[in-house]
Structure 1
């Protein structure tokens, strides 16, 4: 996974008109072989296309190993793996519209509702057999790819947010254990904040003031992102209660800061540089810290409770099937292998990504790992980074205004009211 993956999510925009065009692309439907079709004629192997992204040569090599194992056990199927390095979703949408989309491809949770609504994905429920063991998936991760009681993707990997804390800073401040409640976090962050010559040089807490990181806080007191029609509702009193805690930590307590305030690019870097003692980060931060800050001594823990409730964010990615694939049986064989216990075990064996199946996480020991255990633990109760198909519009307007509230330029209620009104005008105009 990319170390800045979550921040990059905020630049992926779903075009409503483009999706509508996708939904109307049925010109190849009559040529599909369908679920019951044979993977290929005798002696003639089927070639499937698999599209995705990669963040490193090691990750690419590991996926290729997984595909080699699949091909070895399915000699009638060959897989052509295509890496889309830039503008992934734009490329996928363009190819789907043109009728030459990949048979199987990666789908990020935040993009799923719009793509599902466009009608270009194959529902997978009819392919599932008992031995696939759907109940083994962590339910919040699976639900991100379900709509109207149908499943359109099975999650291949994920990360939640966990609390990363600097062990030396904690020891110096006399803090013996990571905070378990928001109130304890506030107290710890105040102790950990360091000032020199009247200037803060290290924040107790490093924050990412964007919706992808704050959705669970918005929901902590019963707030909601949107209503059943996809209209934004994030400016409600209940939503403000959780978000106000984030804003006050920066503007009132002065114990929280964002990366740009200390010259860092993201909170993982902020933490590695010693400019924040606590950050909420995901699995992608582990190899980053190990590679760039080898001397750093840190631990992880589950996020502190808010309003007495355990919460965090989850960022799952799934494999999905192109509805216009001409080799659906073979495509399912590939998809079910990659998200099955055997394929997932290989793919997640080195920790680049974490398994979405409980049994695989246990078998590989991630649930008990001193660093990754807290990340895995959050999967059962996490808020997935997904909402209605209007999420991109909601996200852009929220982020544009929330940063003004976080920086103290605008009261939170005013900022989010403006963001909500603008988002709903744009949503209505797009209908």
Structure 2
């Protein structure tokens, strides 16, 4: 059938328009591909956003061929968001993520090797003791830690003076005796976070167990029966006997801090933010190294790091940004607790009177917390067992037996 002239003309217009649209699509796709090669997408937590924005401007001025696209995450959503992205292979280029979760990603082969970033400008020896080790497998390091924190002892100096106690306890026996002496009808000697995130309580339990024979090897805790029983005795018995607050069953970390600032808890193991807040409120606060069985006690370090997914579209750009953020001055400006690098901790903001004990705890009396996902899966069971001992429904011996059985099942028999 012949095509009429008007119809032919219409087809011609459609063809021209279609080719024009295709041309635009191809042109835009080409432009997008070109620009994306110079774009680094960074997922970072909301608490780092403001300072990070300034640092990114500086990075882009040093690297004019690169553009950083920042995407905000939150503490409550980042774990699931990152896990889903890595499993799907649809990832950003750089992620700020909890160190506790990195081993899971390493074991799945989802992270890029960042060993080459540890050079003379960023030596592994400048990081907190053992920190790069927990981020490494078979000699390859898969993250750049930047933020590091631990607990130390926080105490009310006025209550100590009123009770006739000259200084903070340095051993467990002193801690127990002081807590009993400080306990009155309105004040509890100490308290434990038995509500909220279960890991807050199990962190303290494991801190105590580590000082009695438990070890952490390759990110996995290896328990001994005696050390587990000892840790349960210290936490559980304190509640049963009343020198740790009975309100512990209703308290999380924030609740303990609030009662401390009301003068109703005399001392506790807490983070540096709590100490800073007390100073800000002109509260009579002191800090000290956590007590151990016969001297300074070991505390676990926890923190955050930069990871680069193996599926990142701009590996080189991501590595450049991670290296830039790992500089001591940048790490110091972005860190709210303590920086992972020793040289970055020389910044004046980390050397206030109330923070000195935390700096010493981190540099001399801390080890990285376990990051084995099998331990993470055990945490609810251990948490519930600690509560049972504190309630008196199990004694420390029974609780230790239960935890050892669970550990053998999940982590393998103790060596």
TM-score (norm 1): 0.78
2:214 corresponds to 1:223 = yes
Tell me by how many angstroms 1:122 deviates.
Answer: 1.1
Residues 411-420 or 393-402, more deviating: 411-420
Tell me by how many angstroms 1:370 deviates.
Answer: 0.6
Among 171, 185, 188, the residue aligned to 1:181: 171
2:361 corresponds to 1:378 = yes
Change (3 A) 1:147 1:229: closer
Among 283, 296, 302, the residue aligned to 1:315: 302
Contact 1:182 1:305 in 2 (8 A): yes
Tell me by how many angstroms 1:41 deviates.
Answer: 10
Distance 2:286 2:219 in 1: 42
Distance 1:179 1:141 in 2: 28
Contact 1:208 1:259 in 2 (8 A): no
Among 120, 127, 132, the residue aligned to 1:137: 127
Q: Find the counterpart in structure 2 of residue 34 from structure 1.
A: none
Q: Find the counterpart in structure 2 of residue 122 from structure 1.
A: 112
Q: Which one has a bigger Cα radius of gyration?
A: 2
Q: What is the Cα-based RMSD across aligned positions, in Å?
A: 2.8
Distance 1:309 1:346 in 2: 30
1:338-358, CA deviations, whole angstroms, 9 ceiling, x for partnerless residues? Answer: 12213113213xxx2321111
Q: Find the counterpart in structure 1 of residue 373 from structure 2.
A: 389
Tell me by how many angstroms 1:377 deviates.
Answer: 1.2
2:48 corresponds to 1:48 = no
Change (3 A) 1:235 1:398: farther
Among 60, 67, 72, the residue aligned to 1:78: 67
Q: Find the counterpart in structure 1 of residue 352 from structure 2.
A: 369
Change (3 A) 1:326 1:126: same
Between the two proteins, the alignment pairs up a number of residues equal to 372
Q: Find the counterpart in structure 2 of residue 270 from structure 1.
A: 259
Tell me by how many angstroms 1:145 deviates.
Answer: 1.8
Residue 357 of structure 1: SS of its match in structure 2?
A: coil
Contact 1:51 1:82 in 2 (8 A): yes
Among 410, 416, 421, the residue aligned to 2:394: 410
Contact 1:205 1:276 in 2 (8 A): yes
How do 1:6-155 and structure 2 match up within 5 A?
Answer: 46-55=38-47, 59-85=48-74, 86-155=76-145
2:326 corresponds to 1:339 = yes
Tell me by how many angstroms 1:137 deviates.
Answer: 0.9
How do 1:346-357 and structure 2 match up within 5 A?
Answer: 346-348=333-335, 352-357=336-341
Unaligned runs of 5+ in 1: 1-39, 196-200
Residues 94-103 or 264-273, more deviating: 264-273
Distance 1:223 1:134 in 2: 26
Tell me by how many angstroms 1:426 deviates.
Answer: 6.2
Q: Find the counterpart in structure 1 of residue 189 from structure 2.
A: 204
Change (3 A) 1:214 1:98: same
Change (3 A) 1:408 1:233: farther
More helix by share: 2
Contact 2:145 2:305 in 1 (8 A): yes
Distance 2:406 2:127 in 1: 37
Residue 316 of structure 1: SS of its match in structure 2?
A: strand
Change (3 A) 1:91 1:207: same
Distance 1:171 1:302 in 2: 19
Residues 44-53 or 392-401, more deviating: 44-53
Tell me by how many angstroms 1:288 deviates.
Answer: 4.4
TM-score (norm 2): 0.81
Q: Find the counterpart in structure 2 of residue 166 from structure 1.
A: 156
Tell me by how many angstroms 1:78 deviates.
Answer: 1.5
Distance 1:44 1:261 in 2: 52
1:172-192, CA deviations, whole angstroms, 9 ceiling, x for partnerless residues? Answer: 112221111112111211111
Distance 1:420 1:228 in 2: 19
Change (3 A) 1:229 1:111: closer
Contact 1:203 1:255 in 2 (8 A): yes
Contact 1:234 1:416 in 2 (8 A): no
Change (3 A) 1:233 1:313: closer
